[in-house]
Amino acid sequence: MGNDSLVLLARLLGLVIAVVVVYWFLLLKSTFAPRKGFTYTTIHALLMVIGFILVSGEAILIHRWLPGSKKTKKAVHLLLQGVALLSALIGMWTKFHYESGIFSNFYSLHSWMGLLSVSLFAAQWVTGFLSFWHRGQVRETRTTLLPWHVFLGLYIYGLAIATAETGILVKLTHLQTKRNLPRRCAEAVVLNGVGLGLVLLCALVIASAVLPKSGNEKIVYSSQDRPNVWLLDFSFFFFSF
Amino acid sequence: MGNDSLVLLARLLGLVIAVVVVYWFLLLKSTFAPRKGFTYTTIHALLMVIGFILVSGEAILIHRWLPGSKKTKKAVHLLLQGVALLSALIGMWTKFHYESGIFSNFYSLHSWMGLLSVSLFAAQWVTGFLSFWHRGQVRETRTTLLPWHVFLGLYIYGLAIATAETGILVKLTHLQTKRNLPRRCAEAVVLNGVGLGLVLLCALVIASAVLPKSGNEKIVYSSQDRPNVWLLDFSFFFFSF
């Protein structure tokens, strides 16, 4: 499969997930604290899945399809990641208004994974801004930082999705044990569907980012015996070098 | 940080996680169905964390540190991944003996993610065996398959770890809601610690595998304006090409 089809598939799947999450938000009320109406926690899932994960995935894919100059692509990438960071911060903040206060968030794996991914994301955004956009650094420093930027960015993306999976599981377990939601019901199907959709999206986005473009597999043989092959194509990240 | 230090750190962290999981298995009885003694489900966590995830991580790192011929490295990689696959299959099988039978496993996100990662792992092992070990295919086919093998392998590794996180969370939520385990207790700390340890291990193993070795950043400039850079070093996977 060509790289272009992967990008297209990833963006389509992202759209489907966004629609399903909004549908879940609007129609399946039991998940979203029905007795209290619209609350801070109500929008946590929306901000985290759509604002953080989906927007961040779009930002990763920008370099693969957006036409225009290098500068435009980098500006859009930075801007979208900024929107994702802001959503993540507001999404975390909504949880600080919950019944038991801020510190109730520090006893679960979901919270720790979330705190880790948002902190890393913030650090990554600032470092990316300084070393790529600000252009204050010499080319050599940026060349050394690049594989770390790419690796860390994709790692954080995966970690955010893993955190979402734990969040979905916590929510469903809570509904099943505290509110007697049956194991087989529309809401469980929708929630598990979003979970599996995110797992697939993660694969598509990372594959689009790292696998070589079709017809672009540049292979350099350094010797007959042990060819030296660079198979992952990161040239698209070097627009400004 | 050099690549060698990353490999060392990853292997040390894997060892620490294994020790903590065994300690948890032997001393913190509440997690492991104390009333029934040693059961099928008792060993699910051991098989999945140590037998599947940790052994599979070791297999990924083999190419980065094991001395010896290419053939030896590939044989050890294949063998270790075989052990990991076997552990995963037995680990899944233990759940089929649980109270509610096989089909109770198909209603949770944890199960679906687990089924997906083990199925992909099995397919990956067979494809890897056929295309790399068996040597029946021509060099060109293997060159085309390689980036997919590497990408899919690392993706499955990450997915297995995400699945483990959901498993830990399900277990802790179950203990807290059904058996009134307090939110702050030794067992919660140990379980969440294993969860965060696995998140860190995932980063270290993937970074060791894909980041360039120190002093090995081969950069090819194809033009002054837009250099063509292959930053991720997969040459180590080409031992037999």
Q: Which of B80, B66, B63, B64 is nearest to B5 (CA)?
A: B64
Q: Which of A56, A50, A60 is nearest to A21 (CA)?
A: A50
> pLDDT tens digit string along A80-129?
999 999 999 999 988 877 555 666 667 789 999 999 999 999 999 998 88
CB A180 within 8 A of CB A123: no
For tokens 């595998």, the residue is B209
User: Which residues from chain B sit within 8 angstroms of residue A188, using beta carbons?
Assistant: 107
For residue A213, give the DSSP letter: P
Nearest chain A residue to B172 by CA distance is A108
| Of A59-73, A111-125, B38-52, B68-82, highest mean pLDDT | A111-125
- Neighbouring C-beta atoms of residue B60, cutoff 10 Å: 21
CA-to-CA distance for B144 and A217, rounded, in angstroms? 8
Q: Do A173 and B170 touch (CB under 8 A)?
A: yes
Higher pLDDT: B170 or B183? It is B170
CA-to-CA distance for A61 and A56, rounded, in angstroms? 9
Range name among A9-13, B4-8, B179-183 with the lowest pLDDT average = B179-183
CB B10 within 8 A of CB B57: yes
Q: Which of A39, A140, A58, A56 is nearest to A96 (CA)?
A: A39
Residues 201-220 of B with CB under 8 A from A: 202-203, 206-207, 210-212, 217-220
Has residue A34 got a pLDDT over 90?
A: no
Range name among A90-104, B61-75, B202-216 with the lowest pLDDT average = A90-104
Higher pLDDT: A104 or B210? It is B210
For residue B54, give the DSSP letter: I
pLDDT at res. A98: 59
CA-to-CA distance for A14 and A58, rounded, in angstroms? 8
Has residue B237 got a pLDDT over 50?
A: no
Q: Do A112 and B192 touch (CB under 8 A)?
A: yes
> pLDDT tens digit string along A122-175?
999 998 888 766 665 677 777 777 888 899 999 999 999 999 999 999 888 888
pLDDT at res. A199: 97
Name the band, by pLDDT with cuts 50, 70 and 90, for residue A38. low
**Interface membership of B127 toward A (CB under 8 Å):** no
CA-to-CA distance for B81 and B61, rounded, in angstroms? 11
CB B5 within 8 A of CB B13: no
CB–CB contacts below 8 A, A to B = 178
Q: Do A147 and B231 touch (CB under 8 A)?
A: yes
Residue type at position B99:
E
Q: Do B241 and A220 touch (CB under 8 A)?
A: no
Mean pLDDT, residues A55-69: 92
Long-range contacts of A22-27 (CB under 8 A, 24+ apart): A22/A46, A22/A50, A23/A190, A24/A187, A24/A190, A24/A191, A24/A194
pLDDT at res. A220: 37
CA-to-CA distance for B8 and A64, rounded, in angstroms? 35
For tokens 């599979």, the residue is B56
CA-to-CA distance for B131 and B148, rounded, in angstroms? 12
**Interface membership of B109 toward A (CB under 8 Å):** yes
Has residue A239 got a pLDDT over 70?
A: no
CATH of domain A3-232: 1.20.120.1770
Q: How far is CA A130 from CA A44, A123, A136, B159, B196, in A?
A: 30, 11, 7, 32, 29
Nearest chain B residue to A104 by CA distance is B183
Higher pLDDT: A167 or A230? It is A167
Q: Do A109 and B207 touch (CB under 8 A)?
A: no
| Mean pLDDT, all residues of chain B | 80
Query: Any idea where the domains of chain B sit in the sequence?
Result: 3-232
Q: Which of B109, B199, B226 is closest, CB to CB, to A238?
A: B226
Q: Which two tokens stand for residue B174?
A: 């179950």
Mean pLDDT, residues B175-194: 83
Phi, psi of B194, deg, nearest 5: -60, -40
Q: Which of B109, B158, B173 is closest, CB to CB, to A195?
A: B109
pLDDT at res. B221: 33
| Mean pLDDT, all residues of chain A | 80
Range name among A176-180, B58-62, B86-90, B153-157 with the lowest pLDDT average = A176-180
> pLDDT tens digit string along B75-118?
899 999 999 999 999 999 888 765 556 666 677 899 999 999 99
User: Which residues from chain B sit within 8 angstroms of residue A196, using beta carbons?
Assistant: 109, 112-113, 116
Complex prediction ipTM: 0.83
Q: Do B235 and A227 touch (CB under 8 A)?
A: yes
CA-to-CA distance for A181 and A168, rounded, in angstroms? 14
CA-to-CA distance for A81 and A63, rounded, in angstroms? 13
Give the number of residues written for chain A. 241
Q: Which of A144, A159, A170 is closest, CB to CB, to B173?
A: A170
CB B31 within 8 A of CB B188: no
CA-to-CA distance for A60 and A150, rounded, in angstroms? 9
Has residue B191 got a pLDDT over 80?
A: yes
pLDDT at res. B21: 92
Higher pLDDT: B217 or A136? It is A136
For tokens 């609350």, the residue is A39
Torsion of the alpha carbons at A16, A17, A19 and A23, rounded to the nearest 10: 130
CA-to-CA distance for B71 and B73, rounded, in angstroms? 5
Residue type at position B79:
L
CA-to-CA distance for B9 and B197, rounded, in angstroms? 12
Name the band, by pLDDT with cuts 50, 70 and 90, for residue B229. very low
Mean pLDDT, residues A63-77: 88
Collapse the DSSP code of B230 into the 3-class scheme (helix H, G, I; strand E, B; otherwise coil) and give the result.
coil
CA-to-CA distance for A4 and A214, rounded, in angstroms? 8
Model pTM? 0.85
Residue type at position A225:
D
